[in-house]
Amino acid sequence: MNWENIAGQENLKKLLRDSIAENRVSHAQLFTGKEGYGTLPMVLAYAKEVLSQENEHAASKVEHLNHLDLHFSFPVFTDNRNSLSKNKFEEFREMIMTSPYASYDDWTAFLESENKQLFISADEIDDQNQKFSLKSFEGGTKILIVWRADKMNVAASNKFLKFLEEPPAKTIILLTAESTNDILPTILSRTQIVEVPRIQDEDLKAYLKKKFNISDEKIREITHEAQGDLNDAVKLLNSGSKDEEFEKLFIQWVRDAFMVKKKPGFLKNIILWAREIAGWNREKQKNFLNYCSEIFRLALLQNYQSEGLVYKKIDANGFNWAGFSKFISGANIENILEEINTADLHLTRNGNPKIIWTDLGIKLSRYIHKNS
């Protein structure tokens, strides 16, 4: 990955390049931000420049992810009692070479593992420890990139902490994560945190205009909806909508919630709805919660005549967006968002998803009729 191929982020690029030029490269750094903001592309460009300073022939090897002193760890599922990244490296390499801004959900779909838990295991950390105990192949720096370090389980985190405390000589550890929330504080205290912000709208527009043959109007529409996420922007271009499945289930939920008050028999539909969502992996469930929060907030803006801020509306399957928005107000939005946040917390703590979603589905039917 070349610096010039990264969308926007000029200030951060300069900061990282200056740290290399001035020999101020920290041995352990955590890049936080959504994948679509460019966390992994930034890390790859950084690693490429570090290794190229030592060997001019390193650049091409890093670009093709086959440099012998560049190692990767990333979440995988247990397969035949084995949970090592190296067993899925070719698949990971294929995905990243095609789409360096790919997300965790994309990786889950790529592996066709929607119903399996992906994580970074203690065995994976042991395997990396063994690799880094050996001398580098090219006699210089060895780099470990841990993609989605927030997916380490507890045992892996504890072993990784020891690796951070006593790293082998000439080792650089670059981690990525969406946020610091699920990473041990002791690991955070031993890493330099690099925040990767959302891509500025003008930079995203310029990137899309350069890479795709689409109208300025379409670019504006996609930029508004993507919210600084290049991965989402590309999906919008390719499919027309990133949320078709989420949209369908949200409409189903709202319609059943409206009907339950007059016809309690619709409660059965909410239970079936909850069971369907509970069958997804945890990450997808949490993403649906985020989607629901976003739609409720946009409906509130619509209701309070702030239509200029409503960058997305639901108009599929005869859904009456304007009519629905009238029911979302200051009287119920706080309760609705609080219940969604509570559901997210329970999912994070590995609560029973069927119970969590059934409870949330039923509570919406109570709050949706709460008038201002």
In sign, the C-alpha dihedral spanning 172, 178, 181, 183 is negative
Give every CB contact of residue 34 below 8 A, 6+ residues apart in sequence.
Answer: 103, 178, 198, 229, 231
- Residue 243: predicted pLDDT: 65
Question: Letter for the amino acid at 87?
Answer: N
Percent of the chain with pLDDT over 90: 53
Whether residue 125 contacts residue 156, with contact meaning beta carbons closer than 8 Å, is answered with yes
- Residue 177: predicted pLDDT: 96
Q: Report the distance separating Cα 175 and Cα 184, nearest Å.
A: 13
- Residue 262: predicted pLDDT: 77
User: Which of the residues in the chain have pLDDT under 50?
Assistant: 241-242, 372
Query: pTM higher than 0.85 for the full model?
Result: no
Give every CB contact of residue 22 below 8 A, 6+ residues apart in sequence.
Answer: none
Q: Report the distance separating Cα 116 and Cα 204, nearest Å.
A: 33
- Residue 225: predicted pLDDT: 78
- Residue 371: predicted pLDDT: 62
Report which of 142, 181, 200 is spatially closest to residue 8, judged by C-alpha positions.
200
E runs forming strands in the chain = 28-32, 70-73, 142-146, 171-177, 192-195
Q: What is the pLDDT of residues 314-347, one digit of tens each?
A: 877 788 998 999 999 888 899 999 999 999 999 8
Q: What is the pLDDT of residues 282-292, one digit of tens each?
A: 878 888 898 89
Rounded to 5 degrees, φ, ψ at 80 are 55, 50
Concatenated DSSP letters of 227-257 = TT-HHHHHHHHHHS-S-HHHHHHHHHHHHHH
- Residue 372: predicted pLDDT: 47
